[in-house]
Each structure stands twice: as structure tokens, then as C-alpha cells.
Chains A and B, each alone.
Chain A
Amino acid sequence: MNGRPTEGSPGESPDVPGLRTEASGPRTDAPGLRADADRRRADAPGLRADADRRRADAPGLRADADRRRADAPGLRADADRRRADAPGLRADADRRRADAPGLRADVDRRRADDPGLRADAFPADSVRDRARRGTAALFPPVEAYGRTLFGAARTSAHTAPDADLLDALRLVPPVFMPRRLEKLIDLAREPMHHDVDLTTVVGALHSPLPAYLSAFGSTQVASADLGTAASRQAGRLGLPMVIGENVVPVNGYGRIGTAPSGEAERSLLGRIRAYLDELPDGAGGVAVQQSTEDADAEVWNLVYSDPSARPLLESGRLAFELKVGQGAKPGLGGMTVLDRAAAARVAEQYAVDDVLGGEERVLRCSSPGTFTEEILRQQIRLMRNNFPRARVWVKLHPGRDVREAAAVAWSAGADAVTVDGAEGGTGWAPLGFLDTVGLPLGECLRRIGRPAAGLLVSGRMWEGTRAAKALALGATAVGLGRAALLAVEEDPERGLVRLVEALALELRLLISALGKYEASALAYEDVWAAGTGLPHPDPSLAAPLGTQP
């Protein structure tokens, strides 16, 4: 599967040994820190400043990373990776503070025995923590309440020159809040964060919060039962769900015949049924992806004419997502690692490359499909013509002309454009693509400016601050991809539900702090970072935000 090293699995890293040692440094230190913290906690019942010390460690780590980056370009990916991991490290520290050695042992064990899903450059531990503890994971441990000094400023890792715009931004509440006054008048009492209305129309589907479940990438990851468990939990939440284009080729439709994977519930219709079983009235919906080569399988036609999709169609909760590209490998089509026997079966449909070494595995490559303005426009019109009762979504990769492509899609009548930042995507891709190809999501949002219709974005989304920043930059909703898979793996019954509950509470807190009471009210004025041109001098302008590099 994924070849990039993760902080938790140094042994699997294909990188240079020196890097590995450095990356695992903080983890080796951790028990010491913890012991120290415990000792001090035992000794000193009064206020303590251990959090500061630990925080002080974090910038050190980052500075170290930056220094190494400056010294050796070859080390760069590693530094970035650790920077991206920083929130995870912090959450980890918090968890330790919560005195939960059992949890920690559990995490360590999982790493040692079965690494489970890996999500490199992604704060997997923090996501898992939320999947276990839900909203409690939003706060410092209650045991520390009244006994610990919080609030010393942390130097942000996000100020590094090439940091993602979304990371670099801060959310900046005003002092004067006329909208809060409006809400006060409306309620006849002071508004609270509970009063924030998060309900959002996500590509013509109704969601209880500005989020949806992204398609899982073209890896074996989403073929596991996690896909079905995620469907069930998303259904329970009323969260709109995208079903990836890879599901039919790998797991089948779920009608006559045996699915290639042999299990009907993993199939496309199995996923839809799992979702519908839990779905409350009036919320959610399913967006079924199709890419160029899936046109052969006629996935949309199948769903549109299938009895089990009928409840969705009749309640206006079925969407079709035209997959133009993806974040993990902009400009390329899907890639799947297959064993040789499976590859022989699909050789007529797909290019199969023997480039992975060894006897067992080969690489199946899909063509990405050719698009021009006219091709995109006409494909969208044809979708509307052929499937008049389905909503139309268009998924773009983070290309340099993402603004123009989104504009074509909206003007042709797409209900929503989905943009996968280069940091997005659960897919298997060449390392060079994962590291350096495509625009990060923040830059996509900056280029797109104010959207003409729904703008759905994905890329390292799992918590409220990044989501709120994306919404402030114009997004309608954020997609949970990797985070959802990790949460479901952590707890197949409630993991995603808890993660989303935490996200909703955090969004309510943030939005109310900004003096607003609807998710859609977030705007450019709510974010700031030095040198980014934000907030925009004239927020009414639909032009791309700030200056383009």
C-alpha cells in the first residue's frame, strides 16, 4: 500500500535510515516526558506549567525540521510530514496528560502488530482519539482544569513560507458583532454556540452540518468492510455520502452474479442499502462517482434504473459525480495494485504495468480521460439530460486552471463542484505525485474565489478549524475521507459518529466566536495571516483571493 513512512512505523519506511531515526526521536522521548509530567503532577498539586514546557518542545521540533529542510532539500518531505503531524503529536501529549496509559498501550500495540490503516502526513492519532472520545477530545483533559496554565502562544509551524494557506490562516473574531445583535434580537436572549445553525445544502443534498463523506480512493483501503461501516454511520448522521468510482470494478454492483470481491454487502448497492437502512427522513443523500473508464460499466445508468436506489431518487437524494480528477494524482487516472490473476481478468479493459517488482503484484492504470471546456460542458449537460432527477456533481483535481474548470461546470448546471486539494485523496499514487504535484486546497480556494454554486472541498479535513477556514474561503462543505476511514476503523459502530459530533461542536464554537450563527455566513473577513492578502480588501469581489503566486 502506501510507501511513505509514517511516524508510527519507522520499520516500514523506505526512506534513509538517518531520517527514520530523527523522525522517531520525539516518540522515544515521550515516555520520559510523561514520567516527568507524572512525577511533577504528583509532587505539585498547585498550578503547573508542564503544558508550557511540552509546548515549548513542539516548536523545537519544528525548528529542527525547518533547519533540516534548509540544509538538505532531500530531507524536505520528511520535515513537511512531521509538520503535518504536529497536531497529532500535540493531541498525543494531551491524551497522555489525561492519564490514559491503556489507550496509549493500545495505540502502540496496534502499531506493533497490525498497523491498521495508515494515513501518512495526517494526524491519525488525533482522529482516532476523536473517534473514541468524541466531543471530549476537543478540550484539554478535565483533570487539568484549574490546575494548569494554558494559553501561552505557540509559534505556529504554519508560518513556514511554503505552508498550506489553510494552515497559515488564523480565525479572527471581531470585537463588534452586529450579527450577534441580530441573533440576540431574534432570540430575545444572548445567543450561544448552541444557536449556530450548521445545516447546509451540500450539492442540492441536505446535511446537518457543512460536511459530507468523501469517496475513498482507488486502493484496497475502501474495499474492506470499512466502506460499509462508514456508509452505515454516515446514514445515521444524515451525512451525504460519495461512493467512489472504484467500487463497482472492485466489488461489483450487488445484483446478479458474484462480486469480484465475493461479498455482496461491499458492492455499490450493498453500500447504498447500508446507508439507507440508517438514514433519517429529509437528510443526506448519495453521490455516485463515475469516471471515463467506468462509463463502460454504466454505473450511473445502473443506479438510476435500480429499485434499491428508488427511495433516493424519489426524495431528490441521488446525485451523480463526474470524476474529472483527484487530489492524490492530478492529471493521472486511477491506479490499483492487483495480483497477477486479477490483472489478467481486467487486461481487456485496463492498462496493466509490470513495474512493481516481484512476481505477485502488478499495477492497473486507468486513463484519466480527456477534458476540454467543451467536453466538460457537454458531459454535464448530458448528465442533466439523461438523469433529470439526479443532482450533478463534478469532481476536479487541483489543477492550475481549477477556477476556469469550476466556472464551466457551474455554468453547465452542476449543482456542486468538488475540489480535492493536492493534500487530499486516499488514493495510491506515485510518491512524486503525493509530494509535489497539484495545488494545495488553500490555493485552489484562493483561485476560485466566490463560488457560483456549491463548492465542496476535501484535503486533510477532520476538525473544525481547518473546516471553518475552508468555509470562510468560499467552500460550502468539507469532505471527510481519510479521517472517516480512520474513525470507522477505530470504532466500526460509533467512530465516525463521534468524529462528526466533535466536528459539529467545534464548528459551532468557532462560528459563534466569530459572531455568526450560520455556517454559510463565514467569509473572508473571518480569516487572517500575514502576507496572504487576507482578509480581502474588498470581500464583495468575486475575483480570486489575494495575489496569485
Chain B
Amino acid sequence: MLHTTDTAAGPAATERLPEAPARHLTDPTTRAVVRLQNGVLTAARDFLRAHGFTEMLLPMIGPVTDPGVRGSKQVDIDYYGHRYKLMTSAILYKQASLLAFDKIFSIAPCVRLEPLETANTSRHLAEFHQIDVEVAGASREEITRLGEDLVRHIVREVTEHQAEEFEALGRDTGAFTELLGQSFGHRTHAEAVAELRDMGHDQSADAEIDWQGEAMLSAKSGRPFFVTDYPKGSRGFYDRESRDEPGTLRNFDIIAPEGYGELCSGSEREFEYARIVARMRETGENPAKYGWYLQMVREGIPDSAGFGIGLERFTRYLAGLDSVWQASAYPKVPGVIAP
């Protein structure tokens, strides 16, 4: 039996690793988690379809992928002699798909060879799935509202219909009372930095909130909250830079409470050609490899906003699991050899 979480204490730090597939798959906890995850996917699809979204099946391989992924390595594959990548996220195709539909979503795997130090953060997998959403013409206010509504809908659906799984996992659904009853909190990155420094944590003002800092903020909160306005230099080129406050991005994360940390990242997107090229350089990218994307951007793509919810992380939070790998039937912990 896997260790589940005492909601008062928050998730335990564990270095326990997955067992062999036969044992992991037949573990009652794994079965309960997978059934719960099914409920999440069903609820997400129902909600998004009801709101006019089209589900896209996006590529898994391409000449280029999302570079804005903290410290991780992309996987190269040999595509008829050309170096292709496995998708680290579908961001480039999400933007492209808005040429066909104004509201799209996709549920797809992402592969990121994360730094080894992430093996014991309890919340990194080298292979995971993302519920990706993109809306043409949306502002950050609109997209964060959508994200909040989607998360709340999913939690309401699974708590209403999957009491058996919560029971099996020993997860008290009272943990979601605040989430279901109140709107999410908001703080800017600068406010989060100040708060962490007040707590004695040395958080850089120019960088992403580090994992430890994020866990500290998360542990203090009883419901999910947004962190907005990350500094440029902490995210990929596609997160839109504020026109009013240069150096600040029009983006956000949703942080889960109880120490579970980030569930979701999103932003208004850059869509103007010259800005994208400049931002590519600022993020150390070589524009030459983005040929198809830049050609498309040059011809015009809609402005948009969107987000991606990490499915295993969301499942972990719902199920109250110690580690995110417990939310995967075939987990790949960074650096750990697994089938």
C-alpha cells in the first residue's frame, strides 16, 4: 500500500521509487488513481466541449518543440536523417491550431529529460500528460477565469462521482471545500518573492519561484492561487511581455494548496513576428530552427492566451499522493530507468 497524505501535514518528502510494472499496476492504489484520473479527463473534456472547444490531436514529433522548459533536455529523434524532437509541450501547435478554430484543447504526452535533481522533488516526471487549452483573442483575465472554472468543475465532478476512489486512497475531500466555495487567490511574482523573503527564503527576483519556495507558498494556502507577472528571463519566448511594463510577462501559474505546488502554467502569447524573433534571441534560441513556425507567424497568427494543466500533478493533488509518479501507470522518474 502506498503512503497517502495526511492533509494537515502536506505531502511527505519521499525518495521511494516505483516498483516493477507488475507490482505497480496491480497495487490497489494505482487502480484507484487511474480511475480517478479517468474522471478528471472526462470532466475536462465535458467542460471544454460544453464551452465550444474543439479537441485537437497534435503532433508528438516535429523539427522543433517548446524550448521554455527549465533546465530539461529535449529528446532527439532521427526523422529520415533530420533531427526531430519529441514534444516537450504542444505550445507551437496550439498557436498554429487557432488558424482552424478559435478555441482548442488537446490532451497529449510531453517528454522532458528533467535534471536529476528533480528526481526527489516528488513532482517531476520525464514523461507526463498535459491538458492544453488555447483561446484566440483571449486576455489573461479571461483565460485565468477559464482555468479556475475548469479546475473547479473537475474537482466538483470527481468529488461527486468518485467517492469510492477517494475512500480507497484515504483522501478526505474536505480538503477541497475552500477550492469549491471561494475564488482562487492572486499574487504577483514580485509579491510572492517578497513573501518568501519574509519567510527567510532566498528567492531571486529575476527567476522562476524555485521548487522549495513554491512548496512553502503552497503549504501556507488552503485553496489554489494564481501567481502572475513572472519576469522575462524566467519563461519561454511565447509568453507575452507586457506592453505597459516591459520586463514583465502577461503570464500565470496556478499553485495547488497543501504543498502540492504548481498545477498549471499559462499566458497571453506573443504573436507578432519581430517580437517573437527578438524574444527567441533573448531566450538563447536560434531562430533558424523555427522555420515553419516563423513563416506562419510572419503570415499572421491570432493573438491568444492559453494554459496547460499537468495531468499527473493535478491527479496527485486530488488523490493526496506523496509523489507524482504514483499518478502514472507507467511512471518515469527523472534519471530512473523504467519501462
Distance A73 CA – B208 CA, assembled complex (angstroms): 56
A389 at the interface (CB under 8 A from B): yes
Of B157-165, B228-236, B306-314, the one contacting chain A is: B228-236
B232 to chain A, nearest CB (A): 6
Of A53-61, A305-313, A509-517, the one contacting chain B is: A305-313
Distance A388 CA – B213 CA, assembled complex (angstroms): 13
Q: Do the beta carbons of B115 and A381 come within 8 Å of each other?
A: no
B82 at the interface (CB under 8 A from A): yes
Q: Do the beta carbons of B289 and A381 come within 8 Å of each other?
A: no
B244 at the interface (CB under 8 A from A): no
Contacts of B282 in A (CB 8 A): 374-375, 378-379, 382
A390 to chain B, nearest CB (A): 9
A386 at the interface (CB under 8 A from B): yes
Contacts of B278 in A (CB 8 A): 374-375
Contacts of B114 in A (CB 8 A): 305
Partner among A313, A374, A375, A385 whose Cβ is within 8 Å of the Cβ of B208:
A385
Instruction: Tell me the B69-98 residues at the A interface (CB within 8 Å).
Output: 70-74, 82-83
0/1 per residue, A249-263, Cβ < 8 Å to B?
000000000000000
A370 at the interface (CB under 8 A from B): yes
A64 at the interface (CB under 8 A from B): no
Contacts of A378 in B (CB 8 A): 232-233, 282-283
Q: Do the beta carbons of B71 and A375 come within 8 Å of each other?
A: no
Contacts of A387 in B (CB 8 A): 71
B12 at the interface (CB under 8 A from A): no
Q: Do the beta carbons of A384 and B281 come within 8 Å of each other?
A: no
Distance A488 CA – B115 CA, assembled complex (angstroms): 34
A112 at the interface (CB under 8 A from B): no
Interface size class of B (residues with CB under 8 A): 20 to 34
A538 at the interface (CB under 8 A from B): no
Query: Quick one: given A301-B71, A302-B73, are A296 and B289 in contact (CB under 8 Å)?
Result: yes
Q: Do the beta carbons of A382 and B113 come within 8 Å of each other?
A: no
Partner among A301, A304, A379 whose Cβ is within 8 Å of the Cβ of B283:
A379
B55 at the interface (CB under 8 A from A): no
Prevailing SS type, chain A contact patch:
helix
Distance A371 CA – B289 CA, assembled complex (angstroms): 18
Q: Do the beta carbons of A375 and B281 come within 8 Å of each other?
A: yes
A108 at the interface (CB under 8 A from B): no
Contacts of A136 in B (CB 8 A): none
A301 to chain B, nearest CB (A): 4
Query: Quick one: given A295-B286, A307-B116, are A381 and B74 in contact (CB under 8 Å)?
Result: no
Contacts of B232 in A (CB 8 A): 378, 381
Contacts of A381 in B (CB 8 A): 206-207, 231-234
Distance A348 CA – B286 CA, assembled complex (angstroms): 13
Contacts of B210 in A (CB 8 A): 388
Contacts of B82 in A (CB 8 A): 348
User: What residue of chain B has the Cβ atom nearest to residue A387's Cβ?
Assistant: B71
A396 to chain B, nearest CB (A): 16
Contacts of B113 in A (CB 8 A): 301, 305
A146 to chain B, nearest CB (A): 62
Distance A18 CA – B278 CA, assembled complex (angstroms): 52
Partner among B206, B208, B285 whose Cβ is within 8 Å of the Cβ of A295:
B285
Distance A296 CA – B208 CA, assembled complex (angstroms): 23
Contacts of B284 in A (CB 8 A): 290, 292, 295, 322, 379, 382-383
Contacts of A375 in B (CB 8 A): 278, 281-282
Partner among B71, B115, B283, B286 whose Cβ is within 8 Å of the Cβ of A293:
B286
Contacts of A313 in B (CB 8 A): 117
Distance A386 CA – B281 CA, assembled complex (angstroms): 16
A376 to chain B, nearest CB (A): 9
Contacts from A to B (Cβ < 8 Å): 290, 292-293, 295-296, 298, 301-302, 304-305, 307, 310, 313, 322, 348, 367, 369-371, 374-375, 377-389, 412-413
Known pairs A305-B334, A374-B282, A375-B278; list 5 more (Cβ under 8 Å). A305-B114, A381-B231, A381-B233, A387-B71, A412-B206
Instruction: Offer 20 A-B interface pairs, CB within 8 angstroms, sorted by A.
Output: A292-B286, A295-B286, A301-B71, A301-B72, A301-B113, A305-B72, A305-B115, A305-B335, A310-B116, A369-B286, A375-B281, A378-B232, A379-B281, A381-B206, A381-B232, A382-B283, A384-B206, A385-B233, A388-B71, A389-B117
